[in-house]
Structures are given as structure tokens and as C-alpha cells.
């Protein structure tokens, strides 16, 4: 649409080809101890790759999620993708499945009990099976 054209013709050279803020990305890259200086091309490519990755994650999650019934991308679509799709499994910690606090507390209680008992090993196998 018109937005893309405006973005490309707006001054500022190649940076306008990326919608993520380069300064923010530079800060994140610099937070890594082994990074001392960041080449402008490396910064641009990292930003562009990140943008494309986010688009891919969002599109995939939308297509495979329940959100498209409502015409919306939901958090649970994203967390479902992180859980189910091998490509995105490294995001599972960042996009955890939302659960009720009460359910979480019960899980903690159970873990504590299991830890103390230690003899009932058959209980642990059932943990992973309640995927809806």
C-alpha cells in the first residue's frame, strides 16, 4: 500500500527499508560482552532479518492458530506455535503457554510433594500428556 512507498522514498537511505528502530537494535547487540563495535551493514542486516523473522512468526501463527476465526492474532496463537512447531521451539521459554495462577500453584505443590516422596516414579510420566 501507500505506506511502503512512503517508507522507501523518505530520506535516510537504506535505514528506511527497515521498520525496527536501529538504535534499539544496536543497544541490544552491544549488550553482548563479546561485541565491541558494530558495522553499519551488520546492524542493518540484523534488523532486517529480525523484522522478517517476526513477520514469519506472526504469519505462521495466524495461519495455524484460532485467531483467524476472529481476524486477529492472539498471544495463545504465538505460544502454540512456539510449543508445536520445531522451527520456533527455541521461543518456548519466551512465549510460554498462559495458565491460571491457581493451576500453577497446584503444579508447584505437586512438584514439591513429588520431590519429597521420590519413590513414586510412575507419576512423572503423566505430566506431559495433558496437551489439549
- Stretch 98-125: mean pLDDT: 74
Does some domain include residue 107? yes
31-76 per-position pLDDT tens digit: 999 988 999 999 999 999 999 999 999 999 999 888 777 788 989 8
Does some domain include residue 48? yes
Helix ranges (H only) for 1-132 are 2-9, 22-30, 40-64, 75-84, 101-117
As for how many domains the chain has, the answer is 1
Dihedral in degrees, nearest 10, Cα atoms 102, 104, 105, 110 = 130
CATH number at residue 47: 1.10.20.10
- Has residue 4 got a pLDDT over 50? no
Give the per-residue pLDDT at 112. Answer: 86
pTM of the model: 0.60
- Has residue 130 got a pLDDT over 80? no
Does some domain include residue 11? no
Q: What percent of the chain has pLDDT over 90?
A: 42
Q: Are the CB atoms for 120 and 114 separated by under 8 Å?
A: yes
Cα→Cα distances 93→34, 63, 65, 85, Å: 24, 22, 19, 14
- Has residue 91 got a pLDDT over 90? yes
Domain ranges, residue 60: 22-113
Does some domain include residue 121? no
Amino acid at each position: 500500500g501507500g505506506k511502503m512507498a512512503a517508507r522507501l522514498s523518505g530520506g535516510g537511505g537504506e535505514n528506511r527499508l527497515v521498520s525496527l528502530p536501529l538504535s534499539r537494535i544496536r543497544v541490544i547487540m552491544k549488550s553482548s560482552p563479546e561485541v565491541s563495535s558494530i558495522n553499519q551493514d551488520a546492524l542493518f542486516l540484523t534488523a532486517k532479518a529480525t523484522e522478517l523473522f517476526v513477520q514469519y512468526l506472526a504469519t505462521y501463527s495466524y495461519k495455524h492458530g484460532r485467531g483467524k476465526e476472529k481476524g486477529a492474532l492472539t498471544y495463545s496463537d504465538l505460544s502454540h506455535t512456539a510449543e508445536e512447531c520445531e522451527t520456533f521451539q527455541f521461543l518456548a521459554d519466551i512465549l510460554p503457554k498462559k495458565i491460571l495462577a491457581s493451576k500453577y500453584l497446584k503444579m508447584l505443590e505437586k512438584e514439591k510433594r513429588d520431590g519429597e516422596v521420590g519413590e513414586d516414579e510412575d507419576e512423572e510420566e503423566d505430566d506431559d500428556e495433558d496437551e489439549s
